[in-house]
Amino acid sequence: MFQFWGILVILIACPLLGAMPIIAWITYLIKGKRLTQIGTGNISVSAAFYHGGKLVGILAVMSEALKGIVAVLIARAFFPSDSFWELIALIALVIGRYFLGRGAGTTNVAWGLLIHDPLVAGFVSLVAAIGLIILRSRQTIKYGVLVLFPLLVALLHAEDLPRIVAAFGLTGLLGWIYKQIPDDMDLSVKEAQTQPMMEYLSGGETAIVTLDDELDAAIFGAKAATLSQIKRWGYPVPKGWILSPFDDPALLIDFLQPSALSPLVVRSSAIGEDSAQASAAGQYETILNVTSQQGLVDAIAQVQASYHHPSAVQYRRDLAAKDAAMAVLIQPQVQSVYSGVAFSRDPIVQQGDAVIIEALSGSPVQVVSGKVTPEQYRLFIVGEEKLSCLQFEGEGKIPPALIKQVAYLARRLENRFYGIPQDVEWSYDGQTIWVLQSRPITTLLPIWTRKIAAEVIPGVIHPLTWSINLPLTCGMWGELFTLVLGNSVGELDFTKMATLHYSRAYFNATFLGEIFLEMGLPPESLDFLTRGAKMSKPPLASTWENLPGLTKLFQREISLEKEFKRDYRRRFIPGLTKLANEIIEDLTPSQLLVRVDLILDLLNQGTYYSILSPLSAAIRQAISGVKEEQIDHSITPEVASLRSLHILAADAKEILPEFEPESVFEQLAQTPEGEKILYDFEELLEDYGYLSEVGTDISVPTWREQPQLVKQLFVQLMQGNELPNQDESRKRPEGFVQRRVDLKGRVTEVYSRLLAELRWTFLALEKIWLQTGLLLQTGDIFFLKLGEIRRLAANADVVLRNQLPELLQNRRSQFLEHSQIIEIPPLVYGNNPPHPIPSPIDTSDNILLGIPASQGQVEGRVKVLRNLQEVGEINKGTILVVPYTDSGWSPILVRAGGIIAEVGGKLSHGAIVAREYGIPAVMDVRGATYLLEDGQQVKIDGSKGIVELQEISLE
């Protein structure tokens, strides 16, 4: 037990010890300087020497040495001397030093190791000192020590495996940290408080920074940092050298030898330039054709001075951007045959798949200057991974093949930058297309996506539905994000996570991506969990930084089932029971609003489970590798209701072997056994009457209100049309994935029941207001917002009451107008998108691609079904094409031979039903409901996500 407490002390005290900013305190007390606001912003020994001088630096060394010694002594207080726990204590100290204290921890480790293992530490120090004298290369010595130390530990303590592992872990952590943070020793020695010492400590080398290095945009500007990243990805970027705002350019000027045969271009890379918040296009200088060293001196000075041009200063003020500094990028000048700019998305139209390219012969500066009218080309590039050009528009001198390659380059860079549209400056020298610059198209931000929103709340949305769903969903996501990020979320408005465009729900992909990156998760995490999309590598630095918050989220995931069972027993069951036993028709408007508040309170807690339970199931499935076909979804309402109906239909068939399909229910009513079937059917409708075409939209009628679909399926089952491939004997799988899937099913039932009760409550209120004349048409209440309903019920807004007829008419008109828009863009750019423009979809190869959702192949005739009011005849020769698939669609889906849906993924309701009953299905087939025609012959492959068009139409 004593050692257990020792582990806790090491893991808690050492990071806190490392986090103490003693160096910052010393520097401020003696010199009055705040290290976080100058130089690199790091709180390090080198920063103390650089900005504080010799005394501050010596005190800084002593304080950090003491930290390392104390960490080792803490471990020694609980464990034997020389144990691997001393190295663990140093690792914990370094973690706190980096993530909380803004330093690398090199001094801590050096002195801690001297106490831990004097022999190894002494030998390594000796080798380092000799190496620095001989090689005068600080970088070589720094990384050489990281290799030498663990190797010596392995040689001298070969029998102590934990110690060897800890040694490699410590040096690996330090090596990673060195890659993450800039070093004040890289700053100009000329500005240091102790120039001789800093010159010696820097190994006599003033590093020349190039685009081959990993650059920090906060020091070298976004332009240089972005080009560095693109170059390291393997794209052609001209080599380049960068001067930070603190660098003395003399060394670089001496190194470079510009001439008429090899001219240079000197470019701005201001901090804040080319960012997602501000492009600063045209605000700073670019100097071409630098052919002499004196010309280089003048060009650098001219570019640096442009940061203070009145127009540039005013630009920053207009954007409320802080004044920072100017880094300078110097590159060989590309001898351009053709050049220009490429916009990976159309910045004018603000939608669709078009890439816009402006190009001409010669330098790209002519294009961006606006002094010469370039040739303009427009290409439609479709696909996310395998790009293909669908249409090519534009004529001129530029070879079409070159324009296509530039378009593909722009779209690939967009994909690399997490889908953010890019403004790419390029140049072609006759052999290579060079990337000269890439920056976000700020006018196209934020990016709004329908990919997930179309599953969560599909269709055209009424104001009342949105006024309830938005705060519930966004508020709960905000709580989860705050749990991980803590105070760093600041003043973020989480209601900006979602909005309505064309009366359809869109999620803010830009906002979510930034939040997930800040959390240390890939920006497409939500898309991965809900739709099975590919996921990029997470940013390790943010992951480590948010490890405590992510741990809290993980703890929530672990206890999710236990918490739901507790709330189910204490809150949901009593609440639903109370709601079910109330006679809504007897309630007054004020009592109905009290009922609304009760439901909303339960929905708020239910939203927590409705978000976390499917995400938890998806995470567990991804970790375990369990296939969709191995999971049992019998607890989900859409499957459970169908199975109950199937059993009831079989019983009815025994009682009534001969019947007329049009009068089944009348014939059953003629016998006591048949009446029992009808009673059970009504019970089934009562049990599952909360289901609807769109479960999350309270404006959509429920099964209880419109039972015709359920009755049709019941009759079909009685006629002998068994549900396909239903294996009743299949053994239910066990395991931690299945438990989460079961939990998801129970949560869906509770949440759907609450939403149905909310709908029925508002219908009761509407009935009263229709009788009093406050409302004029059935359905009017769904065109009001919740706050407006409260004010009307309380007679608190006379103006609203007087303007109500006009307000409702305007909203109905807009709703009808938006309902006529068939093709809804999956992505919308900016906050005020224009009216949707049909975007071409490549069907030249008679193939449509989607997400494989349910295995199997099937051929059949298409039936396009945009809502449940257009059902008609459906059989096993029908390939049902639908806009989305909510749980209320189940009675229709199981009657088809195959399913094609415009939106959805492997976890959508339609996919679950299709897999449960062996129906081939493909989800996320863009434009399916308007590309495919009734009667058209198609073949679908649910294993590969392919829809093959075999005929254009019946005619």
Give pLDDT tens digits for 603-630: 999 999 998 998 888 888 877 778 877 8
The residues, any chain, with a CB within 8 Å of residue 690's CB and separated by 6 or more, are 702, 703, 704, 752, 753, 755, 756, 757
Burial letters 375-396, b for 16+ CB under 10 A, else e: bebbbbbbeeeebebbeeebee
**pLDDT score for 308:** 87
Q: Which helix (H) or strand (E) holds 500?
A: strand 498-501
Q: Contact, 234 vs 448, CB < 8 A? A: no
- In the predicted structure, residue 729 carries a pLDDT above the cut 70: no
Mean pLDDT score, 131-148: 66
Mean pLDDT score, 5-16: 87
Q: What is the CB-side half-sphere exposure of residue 111 using CA atoms within 13 A?
A: 17
**pLDDT score for 939:** 94
**pLDDT score for 580:** 93
Kindly report, residue by residue over 62-93, the tens digit of the pLDDT.
Answer: 998 999 999 999 998 888 888 889 999 999 99
Q: What are phi and psi of 589, to 5 degrees?
A: -55, -45
CA distances in angstroms from 71 to 76, 104, 551, listed in the order given: 9, 16, 24
Mean pLDDT score, 686-692: 91
Distance CA 27, CA 4 (A): 38
Q: Contact, 916 vs 633, CB < 8 A? A: yes
With bands split at pLDDT 50, 70 and 90, how would you rate the model's confidence at 133?
A: low
Of 869, 841, 799, nearest to 947 by C-alpha is 841
Alpha carbon distance, N-terminus to C-terminus of the chain: 82
Of 340, 369, 345, nearest to 355 by C-alpha is 345
CA distances in angstroms from 628 to 3, 758, 804, 908, listed in the order given: 45, 33, 50, 12
- In the predicted structure, residue 386 carries a pLDDT above the cut 80: no
**pLDDT score for 471:** 93
- In the predicted structure, residue 139 carries a pLDDT above the cut 50: yes
Kindly report, residue by residue over 801-836, the tens digit of the pLDDT.
Answer: 999 999 999 999 999 999 998 888 888 888 888 888
DSSP 629: G
**pLDDT score for 731:** 54
Mean pLDDT score, 408-416: 94
Mean pLDDT score, 372-400: 87
Lowest model confidence (mean pLDDT) among 852-856, 925-929, 940-944: 925-929
| HEC per residue, 430-484 | CCCEEEEEEEECHHHCCEEECCCHHHHCCCCCCHHHHHHHHHHHHHHHHHHHHHH
Q: Contact, 459 vs 697, CB < 8 A? A: yes
- In the predicted structure, residue 869 carries a pLDDT above the cut 70: no
- In the predicted structure, residue 125 carries a pLDDT above the cut 80: no
- In the predicted structure, residue 19 carries a pLDDT above the cut 50: yes
- In the predicted structure, residue 955 carries a pLDDT above the cut 70: no
Q: Which two tokens stand for residue 16?
A: 């806190």
With bands split at pLDDT 50, 70 and 90, how would you rate the model's confidence at 539?
A: low
With bands split at pLDDT 50, 70 and 90, how would you rate the model's confidence at 134?
A: low
With bands split at pLDDT 50, 70 and 90, how would you rate the model's confidence at 500?
A: very high
CA distances in angstroms from 49 to 54, 99, 193, 257, 462, listed in the order given: 6, 22, 7, 34, 64
pLDDT exceeding 90 applies to what percent of the chain?
38
Residue 859's DSSP bridge partners are: 939
With bands split at pLDDT 50, 70 and 90, how would you rate the model's confidence at 573?
A: very high
Q: Which two tokens stand for residue 679?
A: 């009673």
Average pLDDT, rounded, for the chain: 85
Kindly report, residue by residue over 627-666, the tens digit of the pLDDT.
Answer: 877 888 888 888 888 889 889 998 998 888 888 888 899 9
Lowest model confidence (mean pLDDT) among 242-246, 381-385, 728-732: 728-732
Kindly report, residue by residue over 25-54, the tens digit of the pLDDT.
Answer: 988 888 888 887 777 777 888 888 878 888
**pLDDT score for 533:** 55
